[in-house]
Structure 1
Amino acid sequence: MFDFGFTELFVIGLVALVVLGPERLPRVARQAGQWMGKLQRYVSDVKSDINRQMELDELRNLQKEVTDAARNIEGSFKSAVDETQSELNTIAKSFDDLSDSSQQSSGGVPPQTDWDKIYSVRRTRDRIVERRVEREKSLGVKRPKRRA
């Protein structure tokens, strides 16, 4: 901290011995040592507080970046869900149109159950669920396990 050489310290010690005397010099030296220790602890506390503040600022910046990324992912996920929903709506509408046209052509007789259509709709739903699960896995989203 200060640039004192051995000779300067020797002269200061000799002057202190002459001024204070051999009886009071040890007490004064001990007191000066305690003050220096307190000063060093205070300086180290201030340094640690400054470091903590800097780390806290870095953590806040990191948190902001993570929340922004989460919002971006959420937006892209919502847009994908909206697109899928619109596709499902068009598929449902086309099925409704087919069922309406089959009812009109049959003359009011309720149509027979078309198991192929039902299974194709179920397969489509299963594929959508599988895609959603794959996307969540790729994004790192953990899903709760289903109960049996």
Structure 2
Amino acid sequence: MIDLGISKLALIGAVALIVIGPEKLPRVARTVGALLGKAQRYVADVKAEVNRSMDLEELKKMKDSVESAARDVESSVQTSASDFEKSWSEATAGLDGTGSNFDALTTPMPEYRHPKKNFRLKQKAVPQWYKARAGVRTRTQSGAARVARFRPRSRPVQ
């Protein structure tokens, strides 16, 4: 950065006062301040973008490493599963399947069905005309709305 001390700032201010003049100096100072603020915001945006891109690259590297680890685990699981299937087939090769335990393992279990309810049919449906005649509420109301509905009307003062 440029090292600006108080003496250098005072010298720059004095030269600007002489060159620009006292009438235009405040407007020029505001313009310079606004431009300096825009430049600082631009530099901060560029820094943030660079940091985001660096973080994105790190995340991509991490993603690649996690994917490769997942592929390794998947291949090891597949090889162990194929080894297990081979050993299982070798172990069960001598069985002829006549035992009762073998039949119990191979027969499928029946699907569970609830004994009395069919949820697709609406049971105990009350017709709307019956609800209206019996005075059953079909729409909910808050307590305040119910009080306001049944509050006796005040008579106009005569």
TM-score range, shorter chain: 0.5 to 0.7
| Partner Cα separation in structure 1 for residue 32 and residue 90 of structure 2 | 86
Q: Which runs of 4+ in 1 moved over 4 A?
A: none
Q: TM-score, normalised by structure 1?
A: 0.66
| Counterpart residue identity of residue 90, structure 2 | T
Greater Rg by CA: 2
| Counterpart residue identity of residue 26, structure 1 | P
2:46 alignment partner in structure 1: 46
Identity percentage over the alignment?
A: 41
Q: 1:12 aligned to 2:12?
A: yes
2:59 alignment partner in structure 1: 59
Instruction: Give how far 1:115 is off.
Output: 2.8
Structure 2's unaligned 5+ residue stretches are: 106-111, 113-158
Q: Deviations over 1:44-91 (max 9, x none)?
A: 000000000000000000000100110011011101110111012112
| Counterpart residue identity of residue 87, structure 1 | S
| Partner Cα separation in structure 2 for residue 50 and residue 114 of structure 1 | 71
What is the number of equivalent residue pairs in this alignment? 107
Give the superposed CA RMSD. Answer: 2.1
Q: TM-score, normalised by structure 2?
A: 0.62
| Partner Cα separation in structure 2 for residue 23 and residue 51 of structure 1 | 44
Equivalence map 1:1-148=2 (5 Å) = 1-96=1-96, 113-115=98-100, 118=102, 122=105
| Counterpart residue identity of residue 27, structure 2 | R
Q: Which has the higher helix share?
A: 1
Instruction: Give how far 1:11 is off.
Output: 0.4
